[in-house]
A = this chain, B = another copy of it.
Amino acid sequence: MKFNNKGIVISPKSKIGNNVRIGDNTTIYDNVIIEDNTIISNNCVIGEPINDYYYNDLYANPETKIGKNSIIRSHSILYAGSTFGDNFSTGHRVTIRENSIFGNNCRVGTLCDIQGEVKFGQYCWLHSNVHIGQDSKIGDFVFIYPYVVLTNDPHPPSNICNGPEIGNFSQIAVGTVILPGIKIGAHCLIGAQSLVGKDVDDYQLVAGNPAKALKDVRDLKSRETGESHYPWPKNFERGMPWENIGFDKWKKENGYD
């Protein structure tokens, strides 16, 4: 019932792949490329023009590309000029601004607000309602939980825009704020509701307001097992490329530390 071909507007300047399904009341603007087997659900806007569109008659929409086997859930707005890898998915009412780059296998949850000019590696999973400021750089296999904010202006309001950097495999728990320009290493765990104002070394558990380094995540005992759950890729495989292979073997073959 979702695909009734009602109220759909598709620019003749877009390229729609094979077996792409587009939901009712969705608009696809100029210079959008949607690759094979992708689903765009109802009431979405793909290639939303930037502000000039409204005021400049010579405006040309920059290219927007969504990789194959992706699913964009309803009411999402993806601005023009961004690139999304294969197997990309969004929840509902996601907003992603212009000139953002996502690697393959990324997921962006309901109500996330990606401010544009950001870079994500592969397998980044953003839960609901994450806010990513401009100029943020996020590695591979980074999971970010609800109401996390990555900020970029050290002296608001200023003309400085200096987003954080998050290393591979790091996890940022709910409600945490990362201050401008902060560098978080690989395999870190940032506790819920932390305010992170200092750089974080690899494998650190950091928590609090203000956040402090508490211990090495490999020394963090699970209440269930008595052993550390971290580095988590050793203990979590669902949907990961090391599923049924094991993380240690996979990482050697794929050049990760």
Give A contacts to B, CB under 8 Å. 1-2, 4, 6-7, 9, 11, 24-25, 27, 29-30, 39, 42-43, 45, 48-49, 53-54, 71, 74-75, 77, 91-93, 95, 110-111, 113, 115, 125, 128-129, 131, 143, 145-147, 149, 151, 154-160, 171, 173-175, 177, 179, 189, 192-193, 195, 208-209, 222-224, 229-230, 232, 235-236, 238
Name the B residues within 8 Å of A175 (CB-CB): 147, 149, 175, 177, 195
Interface of A is mostly: loop
Could you tell me if A158 and B27 are in contact, using CB atoms closer than 8 angstroms?
Answer: no
* Identical copies of this chain, number: 3
Could you tell me if A156 and B177 are in contact, using CB atoms closer than 8 angstroms?
Answer: no
Closest chain-B Cβ to A6's Cβ sits at a distance in Å of: 7
A222 to B162, CA, bound (A): 14
Name the B residues within 8 Å of A189 (CB-CB): 156
Name the B residues within 8 Å of A53 (CB-CB): 2
Q: Which residue of B lies closest to A151 (CB)?
A: B174
Could you tell me if A29 and B7 are in contact, using CB atoms closer than 8 angstroms?
Answer: no
Could you tell me if A193 and B192 are in contact, using CB atoms closer than 8 angstroms?
Answer: no
Could you tell me if A54 and B39 are in contact, using CB atoms closer than 8 angstroms?
Answer: yes
Could you tell me if A193 and B209 are in contact, using CB atoms closer than 8 angstroms?
Answer: yes
Could you tell me if A195 and B195 are in contact, using CB atoms closer than 8 angstroms?
Answer: no
Beyond A1-B29, A113-B129, A131-B146, whether A154 also contacts B192 by CB under 8 A is no
Q: Which residue of B lies closest to A109 (CB)?
A: B113
A229 to B154, CA, bound (A): 10
A223 to B153, CA, bound (A): 12
Closest chain-B Cβ to A13's Cβ sits at a distance in Å of: 10
Name the B residues within 8 Å of A111 (CB-CB): 95, 111, 113
Could you tell me if B151 and A236 are in contact, using CB atoms closer than 8 angstroms?
Answer: no
Q: List 15 A-B contacts (CB under 8 A).
A: A1-B27, A4-B9, A25-B25, A54-B71, A75-B75, A77-B92, A110-B113, A145-B151, A151-B192, A155-B232, A156-B171, A156-B232, A157-B232, A160-B224, A209-B209
Could you tell me if A156 and B143 are in contact, using CB atoms closer than 8 angstroms?
Answer: yes
